A and B are shown apart, each in its own frame.
Chain A
């Protein structure tokens, strides 16, 4: 009963380093999302994938790239990390429009 699984849970990066956050869901959902949450704020959409093979920008896409590897997996890549990208990152998935969205447990990223 895994649901949405994100890795890693915690990561510290130096400015300029790159890394990839991995997300996988086992619910056969069509749509997947990456959000970031800064302290004391709501969740802002970075990128989403409405269906396998498609990706679209959200509110705050700059500095990120995504890959919808297959129906299960949606990765988020930081090519050159900046301190402004210090945040908690949440992956989510949903069967389709008009259905319940499910979230992973979050990935805490610090860029120093």
Chain B
């Protein structure tokens, strides 16, 4: 069974870069697409983007100028960087397997943007 675990700073200052890593266990990262999805407190879900093991990416058009998703096959990890953050980027960030049909999810990481 594939398991995913988010890690990274939980507090980020405004205008700085949010960085999270998702570690995949129980399966190879070269077998699928890998996505990031976020959920502001008390609100709905927003797809951020995905990466394929080849490095191919697709991003939410509303975030594309600020987001980068990369994959590290040697560590079986993929990562999210979101720059120029504001309070509106405060959310639980989930990593998930797939490019649209998300069977496996991480537990989520609450990242707060605050000075």
A binds B: no
Give me the interface of A with B, judged by CB distance under 8 Å: none
Interface residues of chain B, those whose CB is within 8 Å of chain A, are: none
